[in-house]
Amino acid sequence: MKLDIVTIFPEYFAPLDISLLGKARRAGLLDVRVHDLRDWTHDRHRTVDDTPYGGGPGMVMKPDPWGEALDTLVPPTTPTAEPDPEPGTDESGAREFGAGAAPATVPRLIIPTPSGRPFTQADAVRYAAEPWLVFACGRYEGIDTRVAEEARTRMPVDEVSLGDFVLAGGEVAVLVMVEAIGRLLPGVLGNADSVADDSFAPGAMESLLEGPVYTKPPVWRERPVPDILLSGHHGAIARWRRDEALRRTARHRPELLSHLAPEALDKHDRAVLREAGFPVDGEGMAD
């Protein structure tokens, strides 16, 4: 997978040289290229921002450096013969973008912004299956809206938010997404099971939060590991872990339980949740 990252702070991405993703890069599983947006400016001060039309606080990123950056990284597709009458779709309609007969050479452009749709684990899974992603890191009050508009005529563009909080720019959001995506790539994680068991892995544990984990020693500062985990009764251990996951989810993320399909919770699950004081559908209302 190839990742292009455009930013005015390339040094933010030093962490991608180390740990899991650094190893993935050295193994050739991940090709990350970080680009300085100011390389596409032409004035002495390498200006990337300007005052907002309509007034208001702060500055806005100028469209020109972004336009040139994207033209360089994603060369406008050369029409092979006559211009495509229906832009973005070939004769078969099989591909959304890219005019010629060549294999998909158009990336997805991902722009972090507090006004984007939420980035989720399902997005990380989808993105991990793509061959090429381009990330645009905004700063100040964001990037002139016309950049994303024009890019959409040439490639899929996703504006995404990490959550209901505001960062100073897109760099940290991109680091987060690259880590979430990178650890899903085949061969990147040592233990393939640790991906499937994640709290938010689609299908895993029906999207409950994970419960507590323990390792040696069996007693630490007078705190013992729960006996059940040392019992060797795998069925009972699985049931205990599910109970703990249900209690933790009810406490920290009750909305995850409300959104579960009714058949996702059996009678035992409902009893555990009732005990935890969580109102289980069809119960707690009657009588």
By the criterion CB under 6 A, which residues form the site for ligand JB8?
Answer: 112-114, 138-139, 142, 161-162, 166-167, 169-170, 173
Q: Say whether 197 sits in a helix, a strand or coil.
A: coil
Whichever of 32 and 160 has its CB closer to ligand JB8, that residue is 160
Shortest Cβ distance from residue 73 to ligand JB8 (Å)? 19
Whichever of 118 and 277 has its CB closer to ligand JB8, that residue is 118
Burial class (CB within 10 angstroms; exposed 0-12, middle 13-18, buried 19+) of 188: buried
> How far apart (Å, rounded) are the C-alpha atoms in residues 61 and 49?
4
Tokens representing 178 are: 């690259």
Q: Which of 17, 71, 96, 141 is catalytic?
A: 141
> How far apart (Å, rounded) are the C-alpha atoms in residues 274 and 279?
6
Which residues are CB-neighbours of 173 under 8 A, at least 6 positions away? 112, 119, 137, 160, 161, 162, 167
Q: Is 85 assigned a catalytic role? A: no
Q: Is 108 assigned a catalytic role? A: no
Shortest Cβ distance from residue 212 to ligand JB8 (Å)? 31
Whichever of 139 and 241 has its CB closer to ligand JB8, that residue is 139
Q: Which of 49, 123, 198, 206 is catalytic?
A: 198
Whichever of 90 and 179 has its CB closer to ligand JB8, that residue is 179
Q: Is 198 assigned a catalytic role? A: yes
> How many other β-carbons are positioned within 10 Å of the β-carbon of residue 244?
18
Shortest Cβ distance from residue 284 to ligand JB8 (Å)? 38
Buried b (16+ CB within 10 A) or exposed e, 25-45: beeeebebebbbbeebbeeee
Whichever of 81 and 166 has its CB closer to ligand JB8, that residue is 166
Q: Which of 114, 156, 254, 279 is catalytic?
A: 114
- Residue 19 sits at the vertex; the CA angle it makes with 245 and 196, to the nearest 5 degrees, is 30
Asked if residue 235 lies in contact with residue 261, where contact means CB atoms within 8 angstroms, the answer is: no
Q: Is 141 assigned a catalytic role? A: yes
Shortest Cβ distance from residue 141 to ligand JB8 (Å)? 7
97 closest CA partner among 48, 13, 156, 41: 156
Which residues carry out catalysis? 114, 141, 183, 198
